[in-house]
Structure 1
């Protein structure tokens, strides 16, 4: 799961970087300003909130997959037996 988080974090950084490059390229005369410490904190908080949401989604998805696997295994156990299986049980 840590590997998935790292990949998502790297992907997010790359996408943001590409978007920023695209905006700067479209507006060649655009001068970027320095962010205030308050703005930096807001961005960090937003990043951490998004990271938590992604982690919760991944956990939920894994849990649902495990539950559906358990249900499938239970259904497989409840499969009807053939006449041959029933006769074999009666002999034992």
Structure 2
């Protein structure tokens, strides 16, 4: 392992994450972090010349549909069901005094 994580770093990360770690948990976290950094170093060895950067693995397109009105102006048809109406709208009981 080429990367070494200090005890102070583990302590600082624990504070940032608001974790109370035991001594055993700190040692395990140190090993895990060192392992992650070693893996990143391994990835940095890859030759990425000529590889186009991407923001997502899969092609992401706009998934929104056009906002097309399909029901038209059926106001009078809808208001036929109203028990009471006024000025082309439903009349409802007052809820706030």
Structure-2-length-normalised TM-score: 0.33
Q: Structure 1 or 2: larger helix share?
A: 1
Q: Which is greater in Rg?
A: 2
Task: Select the structure with the greater relative contact order (CA < 8 A; seq sep ≥ 6).
Answer: 1
Q: Structure 1 or 2: larger strand share?
A: 2
Structure-1-length-normalised TM-score: 0.34
